[in-house]
Chains A and B, each alone.
Chain A
């Protein structure tokens, strides 16, 4: 459980073979000085990882095995029974499907509409664009609770409550202000000369948006897309409010009702359903952690 990237450096192992007592002693003293640091690092890593490992290991155990030895121990047999129970019995597989059906279109809409608005507010020149950006920015401050009741009424009147549309529409609206603001900021960092040169070459500003703006924003689009993906995927409030039938529930709502259903009697299926969530996000994170971390930091320090 130690994180010591620099010690595993190959050049150090070469040195180790040509042993010299003096150097050894110096290294020992340095290691001793680093001991408190490594203790802290180890504690932090254990605190962060242990609960996750505990839950994932638990999801492979039988109920009796889990109860008799709940602390850290490997399962006697790696069984997937809990996973099949969770996916077949409850609505869990339906919940995951719903989450995907809601999250992908929402994120696509947020990013597409947001990047277009960012271009219109930053690259295009017109009177009132500063004010418009501020007007959109004001929406970041407003909590979701402020718009739930009116939106619920609207969706009910429009007959949309029996579908996933209320979720997709609401997530898109909620994600727009921050995305527009960040996209405008990213466009600001691109030299204007690029767009002006394209205009001289005969490209209309609309064409420049699709041919130059969008491709140049690829990185930012991926970053913002990831941030929005997590905020939509992880949301409970909006999903809970606009879900009228169990088979329309997203995974977060599903997990909540699953925990009511199994309560404190049957851990396996609940653990399995939660573990799927953890493992899928872990895989995404392993590949894209730099982008995710940069994006989430950018999203919070606004202004």
Chain B
């Protein structure tokens, strides 16, 4: 039987398209890009081998370090917010609303499928449109505050970007974590309740430890997604004011395609890749250490 399922021709027909495309247009370019990071220049101007100069340049380049800081800050705060809001929503779905949560789950999830560009333009108007500077400022005025020009400052832009990211993704993370919470056996919860664990105590000592695996994989997924933040900060305020909210991805894009520095651009892309790897491994390691304790 296995010889029939090991038919070489069938394997090649079905697997070759995927394997070829993937190798030629993904693995190949990754290797190429790795190589490029040791060169200076572009296709028109020609390339010059510069060794590790691009890397030393990166760590003395203020713009690069600033964008690195923006990416890391955004990733950490956005991940913390996404997981926290998502987990609170998931707890609400599973333990408070129970069977009645389906409509709310669906409504809160919907923004997750909206294009980030559309959401960014929506939020940009939401904090800046009209004489009053948008509905958010209407609300601030209502409580007696002065209108705030969110997009005129770095912190205001960052706050808006984080708010729109949380708005767009909390429903998605809620669904992820909801699925994890549903997997907790009822018997465990029942016996914990009989032992007198209730409310916060139950959540802290029973629910959180039991949903730790799904929490960790959600954190890793969220960090990897938010470290690559691009659309939202670009569409919201063009990385501004100035370049103060330009993340690493945007700096890489501008270096490679606006200033045609292919070599240095590849170096920045490599730093981004390594950054994702380091964060993933760090979470992994810390979770394993916790499991050993």
Contacts and interface: CB of A to CB of B under 8 A. Distances in A.
Interface residues of A, number: 98
Contacts of B191: none
B272 A267 contact: no
A22 interface: no
B280 to A, nearest CB: 8
A150 B29 contact: yes
A264 B29 contact: no
B21 A176 contact: yes
A54 B33 CA distance: 44
Interface string A252-293: 100110010000100100110010011001101100010011
Contacts of A35: none
Contact of B109 (A156, A169, A293): A293
Interface stretch (A79-87, A120-128, A216-224): A120-128
A116 B111 contact: no
Contact of B15 (A70, A121, A204, A297): A121
B167 A51 contact: yes
Contact of A149 (B8, B97, B265): B265
Contacts of B106: 289, 293
Contacts, number: 274
Contact of B117 (A149, A236, A296): A236
B117 to A, nearest CB: 5
B107 A116 contact: no
A154 B29 CA distance: 9
Interface stretch (B50-58, B60-68, B193-201, B252-260): B252-260
Contact of B27 (A139, A199, A240): A139
A70 B135 CA distance: 7
Given A49-B107, A125-B2, A293-B109, A267 B125 contact: yes
Looking at chain A's contact residues, the main secondary structure is helix
Given A147-B25, A292-B113, A301-B221, 16 more contacts: A45-B104, A45-B108, A51-B123, A51-B167, A52-B111, A116-B17, A120-B10, A124-B6, A139-B22, A141-B224, A141-B276, A142-B26, A152-B257, A153-B262, A236-B234, A274-B122
5 contacts: A124-B5, A145-B252, A147-B26, A277-B115, A289-B106
Interface of B: 1-2, 4-11, 13-15, 17-19, 21-22, 25-30, 32-33, 36, 43, 89, 92, 96-97, 100, 102-118, 121-126, 128-132, 134-135, 138, 167, 171-172, 175-176, 179, 214, 217-218, 221, 224, 228, 230-231, 234-235, 249, 252-253, 256-257, 262, 265-266, 268-270, 272-273, 276-277, 280
